[in-house]
Structure 1
Amino acid sequence: MSGHGFHVHGPHDHELEHAAQHGTKDSFSGQIAVMTAILATVGALFSYMGGATQANAGLYKNNAAIKKTEASNQWNYFQAKSTKQALAEQVRDLSADERKATYQAKVDRYESEKNAIKTKAEALEAESINWDKQSEAQMHLHHRWAQATTALQISIALAAIALLTRRKWLEWGMFGVAGLGVLLGGAALLHW
């Protein structure tokens, strides 16, 4: 309301003034308002969980990349030892008989070192695969949380339209979509 005598009423203002003057309670509006507040709160929690799972997925994917790089480094080290072993084998084969034992010892040492390196590289690759799987699982949960949040946002929009139009079928639509959102949130919570 303006202090200069010009007053514009909106539909909401009129309803509030009417309720204040006549002391009537509008159960339809009250029910929609309470449901909207509940849906907004649950939606905020779902949104938080969606963000958390997305962050976890990124961290897990980063861990997978780190382990993959470490495995690659180990395979490069393995290859270097293989090259040294091949050179030692050639020198052994071309050496005089009295020197062959020395080079054979090097060949044996490189073979032993390669086996240890190979075992470590394979373990790092397995860790990388495990981190990748965990990342994918978190992204799946993120999508569930996002679907649940979206359904709740749609139900809030339906609540607003139901309140403005006073259509009971829109209120039931709001409850239906909200129920779907809660089911999707439950699926995310149960890791489905």
Structure 2
Amino acid sequence: MSSGGFHVHGPHDHELEHAAQHEPKGLAGQLAVITAILATVGAFFSYMGGATQANAALYKNDAAIRKTEAANKWNYYQAKSSKQSLAELALDMTPSEEQRAKYRDKIARYEKEKNDIKVEAEKLEHESREFDEKSGEQMHMHHRWAQATTALQISIALAAITLLTKRRWMEVATLAVGAVGVALGGAAWLHY
């Protein structure tokens, strides 16, 4: 500022004056800002809801694949059991000691193969259960994200009603429902 009533503006002062003259004021301005914030947070929540739903489907798919692989191993185990049973029957029916030794070796081999197959099948079943549990956890989080998104959408609708009715108490309702949505999103983020 200079003497004699002459006023010099810096670039920053000009921007502040411009913002003060054109900044939305009152209820409409507040609701515009609230709605923008709610929509931004809601977009993030919606994305997370979709991501957790996709993860749940992938985990469920992995569980089904492991379950099928385990079933295949159990079928293989059963085939080895059948061969072992036939070798045991042959052992009982063979009078020659040389042939009996051959069948004893086969029976021992089938028993070892069955044990190895059993370990693999049980491991695959365990992995299947783990993937099922992960899928369930992801679906739970998906539901939380969906609840949070829905609450924010309701809050945005309340903001529009508030703008139309110009009722200040509706602004409080808008903020309250928005806070519920943010709390639900926080619960999803923290895996509750």
Indicate whether the TM-score tops 0.5: yes
Matched residue, 1:170: 170
Query: What letter is aligned with 2:191?
Result: H
Deviation at 1:26, TM superposition (A): 3.3
**Counterpart for residue 143 of structure 1:** 143
Stretches of structure 1 lacking an aligned partner (at least 5 in a row): 1-22
What is the deviation of 1:28? 1.0
Corresponding letter in the other structure for 1:134: K
Secondary structure in 2 aligned to 1:155? helix
Distance 1:96 1:184, change over 3 A: same
Structure 1 residues 51-62: aligned runs within 5 Å: 51-62=50-61
Amino acid at match of 1:148: A
Measure how far apart 1:111 and its partner are.
Answer: 0.3
Q: For the aligned residues, what is the CA RMSD? A: 1.2
> How far does the alpha carbon of each residue in 1:94-134 deviate from its partner, in whole angstroms, 9 at most, with x for none?
00141211101100100000000000000000000000000
Aligned to 1:27: 26
Tell me the distance in 1 between the aligned counterparts of 2:169 and 2:104: 87
Residue aligning to 1:106: 106
**Match for 1:29: what amino acid?**
A
Q: What TM-score results when the alignment is normalised by the length of structure 2?
A: 0.87
**Structure 1 length as normaliser, TM-score?**
0.87
The structure 1 segments of at least 4 consecutive aligned residues displaced by more than 3 Å after TM superposition are 23-26
Quote the offset at 1:25 in angstroms: 5.6
Task: Please tell me whether residue 68 in structure 1 is matched to residue 62 in structure 2.
Answer: no
Alignment of 1:88-167 (within 5 A): 88-98=87-97, 99-167=99-167
Aligned to 2:63, what secondary structure does the other structure show?
A: helix
User: For residues 144 and 182 of structure 1, what CA distance do their matches in structure 2 show?
Assistant: 11
CA distance in 1, matches of 2:24, 2:104: 97
Q: Secondary structure at the match of 2:191?
A: coil
How far does the alpha carbon of each residue in 1:149-176 deviate from its partner, in whole angstroms, 9 at most, with x for none? 0000000000000011001111100000
Task: Find the counterpart in structure 1 of residue 14 from structure 2.
Answer: none
CA distance in 1: counterparts of 2:23 and 2:154, whole angstroms: 30
Deviation at 1:24, TM superposition (A): 9.8
1:48 aligns with 2:47: yes
Q: Which moved more, 1:100-109 or 1:23-32?
A: 23-32
Q: Comparing 121-130 with 23-32, which one deviates more in the overlay? A: 23-32
Partner of 1:183: 183
Which amino acid counterpart does residue 45 of structure 2 have in structure 1? F
- Distance between the aligned counterparts of 1:186 and 1:178, measured in 2? 12
- Give, in angstroms, the shift of residue 54 of structure 1: 0.2
Change in Cα spacing, 1:100 to 1:27, as seen in structure 2 (3 Å) is: same
Secondary structure of the equivalent of 1:96? Answer: coil
Query: What is the distance in 2 between the residues matched to 1:37 and 1:124?
Result: 48
Cα pair distance change 1:125/1:183, threshold 3 Å:
same
Q: Kindly, what percent of the aligned residue pairs are identical? A: 64
